[in-house]
Structure 1
Amino acid sequence: MVQTRPLTFADYLAYADGTDICYELVRGYLVAMTPPTWQHLLIARYLERIFTAAIESIGEDWIAVQGAGQQIDEETSRLPDVMVVPMSAIQDAGESTAILQVAAILAVEIVSPSSVADDYLHKLAEYEAKGILERMHLRIQPT
């Protein structure tokens, strides 16, 4: 796809190119996400399970999720690897796209060698500006 103009968040929600490619919206432009490695997926799954157990033990009305997005502003929407979100923010969302518009409680990025700069420089600042109080970056070390 050749993008000729910046997209809005509403454009992003409506965008469909008929492929399985996941995109983030970054300052109005679509950025294709590199498919994750198995290691990346297993770490995300492990974290989701750990967070779910912790949430249950403290009795909060939260949920840990993978695959949902976090709107940052009208030009940017990110796809954290794992988020903890308040159920109140999604309980009436039903059929809408799984992109959280209020700040998540926690956003986790599993940092791979190809995403170091973006994850540490841009996403960290964006999550902070959005009001996400807890942010976690896990860096995968090559073996």
Structure 2
Amino acid sequence: MIQSLPERMSFAEFVEWYPDNGKRYELHNGIVIEMQPTGSHELIAGFLAEELTLAIRTAKLPYTIPRTCLLKPRLPDSGYQPDVVVLNRTILIDEPLWEKASTIQYGKTVPLVIEVVSTNWQDDYAHKLVEYEAMGIPEYWIVDFRALGAVRYIGKPKQPTITVCQLIEGEYQIQRFIANQRLNSTIFPELDLTTDMIFQAAEM
């Protein structure tokens, strides 16, 4: 569920305004949107962050997963806050907005970004996919654990699906993973993670 707020802002104004109140916000074409994820949504995001953190430590990769992070796409007056974002610590020094506003604008700094689908699924499958591709982010996962996306994105019959988009020659090549399948990640090739493990993380 999302709730639109009345303010129109530039990206710079949004960064200055962003309140420290525990809530999450994104900027879409100058419109501030308060993100209100469900408990199940947060459980899946937390599980993925934990699994990836373990993979990072095991492989001794120079990556980190920040608690909060804004991505600044090429689209003017927009800023996204992914559910999970993996950053390359060795490149952070090249990010001019990182130290002041924990904001990333270069795709090379982001090996992997993950969005867990909620009622605003159009953003994840359409707008963000295009923008993350344009930024040059190597890998993008769309975790649709409630099968909310349109048939053209997840097939028919609709079922829980994880879409893995991998950047090849500047374009995302897309693979879909459904029940009881192991994910294929070029960023984490040794990752032993199945769709069922991710979907079950939403269960209490």
Taking structure 2 as the reference length, the TM-score comes to 0.59
1:133 correspondence with 2:113: no
Distance in 1, matches of 2:18 and 2:65, equals: 26
Structure 1: unaligned runs, 5 residues or longer: none
Number of the residue aligned with 2:158: none
Q: Secondary structure at the match of 2:6?
A: coil
Distance in 2, matches of 1:127 and 1:135, equals: 8
Larger Rg, first or second structure (1 or 2): 2
**CA deviation string 1:42-94 (max 9, x = no partner):** 11111011111111222221112343211113421101000100113446945
Q: Give the one of 1, 12, 15 matched to 2:14.
A: 12
Number of the residue aligned with 2:176: none
Q: Give the one of 111, 115, 120 matched to 2:117.
A: 111
- Percent identity of equivalent pairs: 28
Alpha carbons of structure 1 residues 56 and 10: separation in structure 2 relative to 1, 3 Å: same
Structure 2: unaligned runs, 5 residues or longer: 148-202
Whether the aligned pair in 2 keeps the contact of 1:106 and 1:135 (CA below 8 Å) is yes
Distance in 2, matches of 1:38 and 1:123, equals: 22
Alpha carbons of structure 1 residues 19 and 63: separation in structure 2 relative to 1, 3 Å: closer
Report 1 or 2 for greater relative contact order, CA contacts < 8 Å, sequence distance ≥ 6. 1
Alpha carbons of structure 1 residues 16 and 68: separation in structure 2 relative to 1, 3 Å: closer
Alpha carbons of structure 1 residues 63 and 16: separation in structure 2 relative to 1, 3 Å: closer
Whether the aligned pair in 2 keeps the contact of 1:44 and 1:66 (CA below 8 Å) is no
RMSD value over aligned CA atoms? 2.4
Taking structure 1 as the reference length, the TM-score comes to 0.82
